[in-house]
Amino acid sequence: MTQNGSAGPDSSAPETAALKMPASPTSSKKMPGRPKEMSTQAAVPAAHQAPKALPDFILERNELFDQLKKQRNQELANRDKPPIEIKLAPAPGQETIVEGKAWETTPGHLLKNLPKERAGQVVVAKVDDQLWDLDRPLEKDSKVSYLTFDDPEGRDVFWHSSAHVLGECAEHEYGCRLSHGPPTPMGFFYDMALEPGKAVREAEWPSLENRAKKFAKDKQAFERLEVSKDNLRKMFGYSKYKMHYIEKFVPDGESSTVYRNGTLVDLCQGPHIQNTRKIESFKIMKNSSAYFLGDQNNDSLQRIHGVAFPSKQQLKDWEIFLEEAKRRDHQVIGQQQKLFMFSKVSPGSPFLLPHGTRIFNALQQMLRDQYWERGYQEVQSPNMYNVDLWKTSGHWQHYQDDMFRVQVKDDSTDPMPLSDKQPDGKTPLAEIKDKDKGIFALKPMNCPGHCVMFRDEERSYRDLPWRVADFGVLHRNEASGALSGLTRVRKFQQDDTHIFCTSDQVQSEIEGLFDFMSHVYGLFGFPFKLKFSTRPEGYMGTLEDWNAAEARLQQALINFRGDDWEMNEGDGAFYGPKIDVTISDALKREYQCATIQLDFQGPQNFRLEYRTSESGELVAQQSEEHRERDPKAPGPGMARPVMIHRAIIGSFERFIAILCEHFAGKWPFWISPRQILVIPVMKAAEDYVREIQAIFHKARMYVDIDVSGNTMQKKIRNGQLAQYNFIFVVGAKERDTRTVNIRNRDDPSTQKMGELIPLEKALERLIKLRDSRSLENKIDMGE
């Protein structure tokens, strides 16, 4: 189960699950507890018909819930309730101590300590940094704070609860089998299986919305209950979809949680809002079909999208926001400006057209300029590696379903199976045989190739830090249902870099990355947030290494941002702590682009090492002797480097989509695919127009001319719609004085009559504007 979804991964929206789950399962195995065929008595009732009896599975599910709830309440009543101390944070920056009782006092009881207005806005609690139901008893001494709809986590909980209301509406409306219903960045959805041949119709949306309004007025409480796996099977045996999640994600002998609101009992980790009365406005946004688990080999389900808010005004504001987001949609702008296309000959792989490639190249050149200044070396690595490399890196064990594999036939021998390798499935790099046959895979990331490069020659501490950058093409086998424009693709390129350094160099390298990141995001006007994730359970490496690395990262964060960053304890990768970076666009939407990840595992898997001293041949000899005794350990005088994975813009394709919507297609001059349009007032000025084009083209600017038969006003309007940064209008006067009349896209005062500027000065100033990489679309005419 997911924390923010009823069960299972969201196959077509950014993943919000707190528990690690596969994003794109590729099998469709028959699950235990496959339901009987749906009864015809559960036919879809029309809105005007008298309500029909609820399906038996709903009644039986609730009966079992009532039985188990009664048992749970009895257990709770018999439990000791020792006094506890509660650190209550009624508002950010405030804290007070209150007394309570374990297994009795709830965060909801403590709302009386908050101002009435704020208490009314609370949607969920946070207990010791864990999201917590308002009606769930505290279990020990705790720190309690509260979230409202305005907090991203609070909004996710609100929309998650609203998805449950939608699920209840759908069961009443259709008698359907629900799959999963998570929140998304734009609201929520629920997937469901209707009777064969049935589909959700837009005409039914009002009926669903009316049901939701009624359920909200009913003030349905969200009741949490922990249920054993055996009872979960009894409770959800009617649904093969719920059974899939139970069998896959709940270990035998263990339990999970369910939530009830009204007649809906749903498999879910929660938490939820206190009751449905919080939902003041509820709207169905669209419906579509979706494959179960995003796999086209599975059942085709009906998906209903919705959105809900604590007030009616927020819904009105949301509708205005949606109109603006629709206007900025990168897929619409991409088509209008001819930036990219897709084809069924390679699903999920964008074709960047000439104008889209101009944007890509400008981004890449900006990064290359920074690499030059900051001591990075650009490399190129293969697109495809044999399976042994992926076993060495660990990707084969954990990621192979998301990789594109190629079988190169070899009649003489089959590729060595995984079981014939080391017990952990890893092949030492030195033992990989030369192979041009067997299983190969397209690379989904560059790090293994960079490890191979590092290991190819002997390294000294004097060579570190070794910073390498790679713009290589990457492929990931995303589920077809998850593909979405440029934001979710199968083929992409990243600003991928890896830094190999000593442990003592980690802090200074991280501080350098912060400076790099600030520069890049500043070019586009992106504010950003930082989240520091620390050591999880089951971490790899020594506690000493982790403590030292975390201390250095934390100090780097403090030096850079003071206390303006978040701590996410226990959420680091098993192979190292990380810092996630989230940017915010013009519509206040947040995107994670940058990640700074420390890695202790990669250097261990590839047995990377560097010389820590210059003791000469004696150290080298001792190293060989040491390796014979312990092949996995660095030899005397040698040490493992720390590997830092880093991307700032991430996928070029996704970043271009973000920029497209951030700027609404009005590109800054330095990155614009259409910088200048030159228009003649008369045919006699066309030679001068072509001369201007040649001059600016020589200065490596994108300049077009319009010598068509359209009227001048039509030409200017076409240029404005195409979002040219500057339109030069020239006639006999401009030709004779060698000037240009410039209309600035972003300056309304120049639209009727532009500025008359000498040609040479215009060239000089536009070169300066381009090279400054300024956000402002303005020609500086100062001396």
Q: DSSP letter at 668?
A: -
Q: Is residue 209 part of a domain?
A: yes
pLDDT value at position 374? 97
Spatial contact of 18 and 185, defined as CB atoms under 8 Å apart? no
In the chain, the amino acid numbered 444 is: P
Q: Is residue 43 part of a domain?
A: no
Tell the residue number behind the tokens 């008893």, with chain if given.
137
Q: How far is CA 326 from CA 329, 484, 588, 664, in A?
A: 5, 15, 15, 10
pLDDT value at position 745? 95
At 690 the three-state DSSP class reads helix
Which residues, 6 or more positions from 109, have their beta carbon under 8 angstroms from its beta carbon? Answer: 100
Which residues, 6 or more positions from 24, have their beta carbon under 8 angstroms from its beta carbon? Answer: 9, 11, 293, 294, 295, 401, 402, 477, 478, 479, 482
Q: Is residue 564 part of a domain?
A: yes
In the chain, the amino acid numbered 511 is: E
Sheet holding 255-261, edge to edge: 223-228, 255-261, 264-267
Q: Read off the tokens for 447.
A: 């790090």
Mean pLDDT by groups of 10 residues along the chain of 783 residues: 36 32 30 34 34 84 97 95 94 87 96 93 95 97 96 96 98 96 95 95 97 97 98 97 96 97 97 98 96 90 98 96 94 97 94 98 98 97 91 84 84 43 47 69 93 94 96 91 89 95 93 96 96 86 86 92 89 85 93 89 91 61 51 80 94 97 98 98 96 98 96 95 96 95 91 84 96 92 58
d(CA 702, CA 670): 10
d(CA 484, CA 486): 6
Tell the residue number behind the tokens 């249902």, with chain if given.
481
pTM above threshold 0.95? no
d(CA 548, CA 540): 14
d(CA 91, CA 114): 8
d(CA 178, CA 194): 9
Q: By residue range, what is the domain housing residue 488?
A: 352-383+443-660
Residue 539 and residue 677 in one domain: no
Residue 241 and residue 268 in one domain: yes
Q: Read off the tokens for 741.
A: 């009349």
d(CA 469, CA 381): 10
Please identify, among 643, 660, 677, the residue that sits at the C-terminal boundary of a domain. 660
Residue 612 and residue 722 in one domain: no
Q: Read off the tokens for 391.
A: 């076993």
Please identify, among 152, 183, 201, the residue that sits at the C-terminal boundary of a domain. 152
Helix, strand, coil percent values for the chain (each to nearest 5): 40, 25, 40
Q: Is residue 491 part of a domain?
A: yes
In SS3 terms, 347-390 reads as: CCCCEECHHHHHHHHHHHHHHHHHHHHHCCEEECCCCEEEHHHH
d(CA 166, CA 323): 24
Give the number of other Cβ atoms within 10 Å of residue 35's Cβ.
Answer: 17
Residue 105 and residue 243 in one domain: no
**Crossing angle (nearest 10°) for helices 152-174 and 205-217:** 120
Q: What is the DSSP string of 699-710?
A: TT--EEE--SSS
Spatial contact of 585 and 625, defined as CB atoms under 8 Å apart? no
d(CA 175, CA 57): 9
Q: Read off the tokens for 771.
A: 């090279």
The CATH number linked to 719 is 3.40.50.800
Listed residue (652, 106, 750, 3) closest to 367, CA to CA: 652
Beta bridge partners of 289: 302
Listed residue (505, 315, 472) closest to 385, CA to CA: 472
Which sequence positions are flagged as catalytic?
Answer: 447, 476, 494, 496, 498, 578, 645
Please identify, among 130, 152, 174, the residue that sits at the C-terminal boundary of a domain. 152
10 Å CB burial of residue 55 (0-12, 13-18, 19+) is: buried
Residue 673 and residue 624 in one domain: no
Domain tally, the chain:
4
Residue 141 and residue 173 in one domain: no
> Where on the phi/psi map is residue 576: left (φ > 0), alpha (ψ -120 to 50), or beta?
left
Q: Is residue 24 part of a domain?
A: no
Q: Read off the tokens for 270.
A: 């929660």
User: Measured between alpha carbons, how far apart are the two ends of the chain, in Å?
Assistant: 65
> Where on the phi/psi map is residue 508: left (φ > 0), alpha (ψ -120 to 50), or beta?
alpha
At 75 the three-state DSSP class reads helix
**Crossing angle (nearest 10°) for helices 652-662 and 354-374:** 110
Q: How far is CA 604 from CA 408, 426, 455, 465, in A?
A: 29, 11, 12, 18
Dihedral angle sign, alpha carbons of residues 161, 166, 171, 176: negative
The CATH number linked to 121 is 3.10.20.30
d(CA 272, CA 724): 49
Q: Is residue 346 part of a domain?
A: no
The CATH number linked to 619 is 3.30.930.10
Residue 169 and residue 317 in one domain: yes
Residue 219 and residue 160 in one domain: yes
The CATH number linked to 174 is 3.30.980.10
Q: Is residue 635 part of a domain?
A: yes
The CA dihedral of 716, 717, 719, 720, to the nearest 10 degrees, is: 120
Spatial contact of 287 and 304, defined as CB atoms under 8 Å apart? yes
Residue 141 and residue 237 in one domain: no
Residue 163 and residue 114 in one domain: no
Which residues, 6 or more positions from 488, have their beta carbon under 8 angstroms from its beta carbon? Answer: 348, 478, 482, 654
pLDDT value at position 628? 54
pLDDT value at position 39? 36
Residue 169 and residue 260 in one domain: yes
Residue 458 and residue 356 in one domain: yes
Q: Is residue 432 part of a domain?
A: no
d(CA 282, CA 190): 14
